[in-house]
DNA sequence: GCTCGGCTTTGATCCATATCAATGCGTCAG
DNA sequence: CTGACGCATTGATATGGATCAAAGCCGAGC
C-alpha cells in the first residue's frame, strides 16, 4: 500500500513518536478493558499519519499491510466502479477502518478517503493480527467494533430501502433537532454534499427536499435550520430507533475469568 | 422471544438431546480451533430447533435471549416497516444469526424467516456471551463470522448501488455458470422470487430481465439456463471479485501463544 | 381427470429520483 | 475590486424500476 503524498496542501507527516501514540490509543473508550502492555505493543510499530482533506488512504482491492485507526477527523468508504463512486459508510473517531479485511488478509472492498484533515494511527498488519490472536481482551474489543460497524451497515441499508428520499431527509433532520434538545435554530453539522451521500441521494435531490421541508415545520437557509412547527415535524416523520439511533462501539464487559 | 408454533405443517420441535448437538457444532469448519470442552459447554444448554419453511425465528426489535445458529436450511433477514419488507441478507449454514445483537444485548435489527425447512441450534444468550468472554479461541471464531457477514453486507451494498438491475442479474447468472465449469445447461438453485430478493428487485423486473438475457447468449426457460453464447455473455458482463466472490467464514489461525 | 393455489409471466402505466444544463452565490487570491 | 472556483440552487427532462392488473403455468390433492 502506497501513501501518495496528497496533492495540494502540506504533505502528510508519517513520523510521530510512538510513546504519545500509545497514550492516544489508551484514551479510546472502547479499549478500556485492554491491558496497557498490549496497547503499547500495538503502538510500538505504529506511526501517526496526518492527512489533509481529500487524501486517499487506501484503494479498493489492495491487500492491507496495516490497520488504519481513525483518531481525529472523518473518513468515508466508497465503492468504486470505473469512474463512479458510491458511499458505503462514513467513519468517525475512534473507528478502525475495515478490520475484517486486515484480520483475514483479504483485499479492501472499498476506497477510503479523508473527508477532512484527519489523524490516523497506522498499525502494522502483522502486529495487529498477532495482538488480536494473543490478547483476549483486545479480541473482544475488536469484536465489539466490528459488531457496531455491522449494525450500522444494516441500519443504512434499512434506511435506504425502507424510506423514500423525503423521509430519509426528514428523519435525519428530526434526529439532529432532537439531539439539540429541540432548539429552534441549529446548524447543519456537515456539508450538504456529504449529507446527500450519507442519505443515498444526489445533491440536487437533497436541495429540493430541503426546500420541501417547509411544509413540515422546518426552514433551511444555507446551513441554518429553523424549527417553525415542531409538532408538524413530529407528525410527519417518525424516528425508528432501529434505524435512526446511533450505533456506538460498546466496550463490553471486562474479561470473564 | 416467543417461538410461535408456525401455522400449517408439523409444529416445530424444540427438544433434542444435547450430546448430538455438540457433535453437530463440532462439524462446523470455522470452529475447528475451538476446544471441544467449550463447544460442549455451549451445547449443554442449547436446543435443536426444527422449523418449517416460512417460520419467523425472531422479530425485529426483540432483545435476544438466545443465539440462533443455522445448521441446515436457509434463513433470510428482512427489515420491516409497517407492512413492507426488504431483504437485508440471506444466511446459509453455518452462519450465526446477528451475533452483534446477542453480544451487546441490543435489539435485533431485522426479522428472521426460514426460507425452507431448517435446523437451528438455539444457545442461551448468557451462555453464549460468557463463553465468548472466557474462551479466546471462540472469540476469534465469532470475530471471523462477524467479519465475513460485514463484508457480505458491503458487497451487497456495492452490487445494489453500483450496478443497474440488468447487470446484477447478468453477473449473478455468469457467476452461477462459471461455478458449474461453464456447463451449457444448468438450473437455477433457488426460486426466482428469492433471487429477485437477493438482487434487490421485484419478481416482475427479474422476469423481464431474464427474458432480455437472450440478447447476451443466455436463454432461461422455467428454472433451466442454457448458455447459447458464452463469449457474448462474458463480453457483456464483467464479474468483479470485490462484489461477486463469495465471502466464506475463514476459521483464521489457531491461537497464538 | 379436474380444480385450486402458488408462483411466474406479460403488458400498461406511473412515479421517484437521476441526469443534464444553467444560474446563483459566497469565498479566497491576487 | 475582480475573477475564478467550489458548492448550492433551480428548472426541464429522461428513465429505471415499481406498481397494478390480468393471464398463464404447473404441481398437489381429491
Q: What is the CA radius of gyration of chain A?
A: 20
Mean pLDDT, rounded, for B205-222? 95
A122 three-class SS: strand
The pLDDT-based confidence of B83 (bands split at 50, 70, 90) is confident
Query: Residue B130: its chain A contacts at CB < 8 A?
Result: 256
B64 and B178 co-located in one domain: no
A57 and A179 co-located in one domain: no
Mean pLDDT, rounded, for A32-61? 94
Residue B168, in any domain of the structure: yes
Residue B12, in any domain of the structure: no
Neighbours of A43 (CB within 10 A): 23
Mean pLDDT, rounded, for B101-128? 95
A79 three-class SS: strand
The pLDDT-based confidence of A7 (bands split at 50, 70, 90) is very low
The pLDDT-based confidence of B35 (bands split at 50, 70, 90) is very high
Does residue B147 contact residue A100 with C-beta atoms inside 8 Å? yes
Query: Residue A140: its chain B contacts at CB < 8 A?
Result: 132-133, 139
Percentage with pLDDT > 90 across chain B: 83
The pLDDT-based confidence of B245 (bands split at 50, 70, 90) is very high
Query: Residue A154: its chain B contacts at CB < 8 A?
Result: 79, 88, 109-110, 153
Nearest C-alpha in B relative to A108 = B242
B219 backbone dihedrals φ, ψ, rounded to 5°: -120, 130
**What is the pLDDT, as a whole number, of residue A2?**
41
Neighbours of A177 (CB within 10 A): 20
Residue B213, in any domain of the structure: yes
**Could you tell me where the beta strands, DSSP code E, fall in chain A?**
47-51, 56-58, 66-72, 75-81, 84-91, 111-114, 118-124, 185-187, 218-221, 224-227
For residue A256, pLDDT over 90 is answered with: no
Does residue B119 contact residue B71 with C-beta atoms inside 8 Å? yes
B30 and B58 co-located in one domain: yes
Query: Residue B61: its chain A contacts at CB < 8 A?
Result: 242
For residue A18, pLDDT over 60 is answered with: no
pLDDT digits (tens, 9 = 90+) for A210-244: 999 999 999 999 999 999 999 999 999 999 999 99
pLDDT digits (tens, 9 = 90+) for B137-166: 999 999 999 999 999 999 999 999 999 999
Q: End of a domain among A143, A160, A177?
A: A160
Cβ neighbours of residue B222 closer than 8 Å, sequence gap 6 or more? none
**What is the pLDDT, as a whole number, of residue B3?**
42
Residue A217, in any domain of the structure: yes
Does residue B201 contact residue B168 with C-beta atoms inside 8 Å? yes
For residue A1, pLDDT over 60 is answered with: no
Q: What is the CATH number of the domain that holds A110?
A: 2.60.120.10
Q: What is the CATH number of the domain that holds A194?
A: 1.10.10.10
**What is the pLDDT, as a whole number, of residue A94?**
95
Report chain C positions within 7 A of protein CB atoms: 7-12, 16-21, 26
Cβ neighbours of residue A38 closer than 8 Å, sequence gap 6 or more? A131, A135, A137, A138
Q: What is the DSSP string of B60-94?
A: TTPPPSEEEEEEES-EEEEEEETTEEEEEEEE-TT
Cβ neighbours of residue B244 closer than 8 Å, sequence gap 6 or more? B155, B159, B171, B175
Mean pLDDT, rounded, for A185-190? 93
Mean pLDDT, rounded, for B117-129? 95
Mean pLDDT of chain A: 91
Dist. CA B25–CA A35, nearest whole Å: 32
Ramachandran category for residue B217: left, alpha or beta (phi over 0 → left; psi -120 to 50 → alpha): left
The pLDDT-based confidence of A255 (bands split at 50, 70, 90) is confident
Q: CB less than 7 Å from strand D: which protein residues?
A: A 191-193, 203-204, 206-208, 210-211, 220, 222; B 164-166, 200-202, 204-205, 222
**Number of domains chain A contains:** 2
**What is the pLDDT, as a whole number, of residue B7?**
36
Type and span of the H or E element at B219: strand B218-221
Dist. CA A97–CA A145, nearest whole Å: 10
Residue A254, in any domain of the structure: no
Neighbours of A183 (CB within 10 A): 12
Q: End of a domain among B160, B176, B195?
A: B160
**What is the pLDDT, as a whole number, of residue A20?**
87
List the one residue out of B22, B25, B187, B154 whose CA is nearest residue B88. B154
Beta strand pairing call for A111-114 and A56-58: antiparallel
Nucleotide of closest approach to A202 (CA, C1'):
C18
Residue B254, in any domain of the structure: no
Cβ neighbours of residue A64 closer than 8 Å, sequence gap 6 or more? A1, A58, A98, A101, A102, A105, A108, A125
Report chain D positions within 7 A of protein CB atoms: 7-12, 16-21, 26
- Cell 456537515, residue? A190
Mean pLDDT, rounded, for B182-197? 92
Nucleotide of closest approach to A204 (CA, C1'):
D9
Mean pLDDT of chain B: 91
Query: Residue A60: its chain B contacts at CB < 8 A?
Result: 242
Please list the residues that pair with A218 across neighbouring strands: A227
The partner residue sitting opposite A134, judged by closest CB among B99, B100, B256, is B256
The partner residue sitting opposite B143, judged by closest CB among A86, A139, A161, is A139
**What is the pLDDT, as a whole number, of residue A6?**
38
The partner residue sitting opposite A60, judged by closest CB among B140, B200, B242, is B242
Range of the domain at B92: 18-160
Does residue A80 contact residue A108 with C-beta atoms inside 8 Å? no
For residue B8, pLDDT over 70 is answered with: no
- Protein B204 CA to nucleic acid D22 C1', in Å? 14
**What is the pLDDT, as a whole number, of residue B253?**
76
Residue B30, in any domain of the structure: yes
- Protein B86 CA to nucleic acid D26 C1', in Å? 28
The partner residue sitting opposite A150, judged by closest CB among B100, B155, B241, is B100
pLDDT digits (tens, 9 = 90+) for A81-111: 988 899 999 999 999 999 999 999 999 999 9
Amino acid at each position: 500500500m502506497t501513501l501518495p503524498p496528497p496533492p495540494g496542501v502540506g504533505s502528510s507527516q508519517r513520523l510521530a513518536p510512538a510513546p504519545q501514540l500509545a497514550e492516544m490509543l489508551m484514551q479510546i473508550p472502547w479499549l478500556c478493558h485492554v491491558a496497557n502492555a498490549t496497547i503499547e505493543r500495538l503502538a510500538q510499530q505504529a506511526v501517526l499519519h496526518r492527512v489533509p482533506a481529500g487524501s486517499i488512504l487506501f484503494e479498493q482491492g489492495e491487500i492491507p499491510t496495516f490497520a488504519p485507526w481513525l483518531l481525529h477527523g472523518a473518513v468515508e468508504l466508497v465503492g468504486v466502479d470505473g469512474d463512479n463512486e458510491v458511499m458505503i459508510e462514513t467513519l468517525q473517531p475512534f473507528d478502525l477502518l475495515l478490520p475484517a479485511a486486515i484480520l483475514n488478509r483479504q483485499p479492501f472492498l472499498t476506497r477510503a478517503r479523508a473527508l477532512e484533515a484527519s489523524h490516523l494511527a497506522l498499525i502494522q498488519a502483522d502486529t495487529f493480527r498477532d495482538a488480536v490472536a494473543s490478547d483476549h481482551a483486545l479480541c473482544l474489543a475488536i469484536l465489539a467494533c466490528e459488531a457496531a460497524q455491522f449494525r450500522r451497515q444494516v441500519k443504512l441499508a434499512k434506511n435506504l430501502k425502507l424510506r423514500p428520499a423525503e423521509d430519509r431527509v426528514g428523519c435525519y433532520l428530526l434526529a439532529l433537532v432532537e439531539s439539540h434538545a429541540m432548539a429552534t435554530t441549529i446548524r447543519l453539522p456537515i456539508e450538504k454534499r456529504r449529507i446527500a451521500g450519507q442519505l443515498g441521494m444526489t445533491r440536487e435531490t437533497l436541495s429540493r427536499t430541503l426546500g420541501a421541508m417547509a411544509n413540515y415545520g422546518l426552514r433551511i437557509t444555507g446551513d441554518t435550520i429553523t424549527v417553525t412547527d415542531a409538532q408538524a415535524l413530529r407528525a410527519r416523520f417518525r424516528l425508528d430507533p432501529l434505524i435512526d439511533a446511533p450505533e456506538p462501539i460498546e466496550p463490553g464487559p471486562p474479561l470473564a475469568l
